[in-house]
């Protein structure tokens, strides 16, 4: 029987995420655990996350899961959700900065404040919280059945800035355009919460649990 491992390092909306994945993978076994001996047997992995990048990395390192995630991303499909997406880049500026997993080249930065030359410009509301649209940059099996400009639920104060445009599968506008979906072989990362995003989110999760990791 196939299995989906949700990586539990004490920072994530584990209950609602595991419940949502169980709904779209009735024939699969979903397990929430921090035990690498159990996670290594999973055929799909999910890296959730809420909170700050520095604390997140400290907990992953304490549990010796940082190296496990890097290794696992080379052999099985893995989904990063919210903070789980942000720590897949190389560095986050949040709370004084932290080096992160480096699965994508790029950084995580704060939404910019209007400069002196932008007098009268609206300030970007931070955190970016609530429903917003994701514009697809191209077709992909993970987006099958998800309409162009579908709405998803966001809660975050920092944005991903990947180096390579080819790594970006979805873009969202909040004062400016930012990367809200990242993709590589075996790696799928979303800034929003699919488990809170109703029909579009459930479709995306269903696509993930049946994804073979290829384009």
Active site residue 82: yes
Helix runs in 49-167, H state only = 53-62, 66-72, 83-86
Helix runs in 3-150, H state only = 14-24, 36-39, 53-62, 66-72, 83-86
- CB 143 within 8 Å of CB 194: no
Q: Which one of the listed residues 44, 128, 174, 193 is annotated catalytic?
A: 193
CA end-to-end span of the chain, whole Å? 24
Active site residue 193: yes
Report the DSSP pairing between strands 168-173 and 106-110: unpaired
Q: Which one of the listed residues 44, 82, 94, 128 is annotated catalytic?
A: 82
Q: 198-209 and 14-24 helices cross at what angle (nearest 10)?
A: 70
Known catalytic residues are 82, 193, 195
């Amino acid at each position: 029987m196939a299995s989906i491992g949700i990586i539990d390092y004490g920072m994530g909306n584990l209950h609602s995420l595991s419940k949502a994945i169980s709904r779209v993978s009735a024939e699969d076994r979903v397990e929430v655990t921090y035990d690498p001996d159990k996670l290594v047997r999973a055929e799909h992995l999910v890296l959730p996350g809420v909170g700050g990048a520095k604390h997140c990395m400290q907990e992953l390192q304490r549990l010796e899961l940082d190296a496990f995630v890097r290794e696992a991303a080379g052999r099985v499909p893995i989904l990063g959700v919210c903070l789980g997406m942000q720590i897949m880049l190389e560095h986050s500026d949040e709370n004084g900065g932290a080096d992160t997993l480096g699965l994508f080249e790029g950084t995580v930065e704060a939404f910019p404040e209007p400069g002196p030359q932008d007098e009268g410009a609206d300030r970007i509301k931070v955190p970016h919280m609530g429903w917003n649209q994701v514009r697809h940059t191209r077709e992909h099996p993970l987006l099958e059945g998800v309409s162009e400009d579908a709405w998803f639920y966001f809660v975050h104060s920092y944005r991903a800035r990947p180096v390579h445009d080819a790594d970006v599968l979805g873009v969202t506008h909040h004062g400016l355009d930012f990367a809200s979906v990242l993709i590589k072989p075996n790696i799928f990362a979303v800034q929003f919460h699919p488990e809170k995003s109703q029909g579009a989110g459930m479709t995306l999760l269903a696509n993930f649990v049946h994804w073979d990791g290829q384009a």
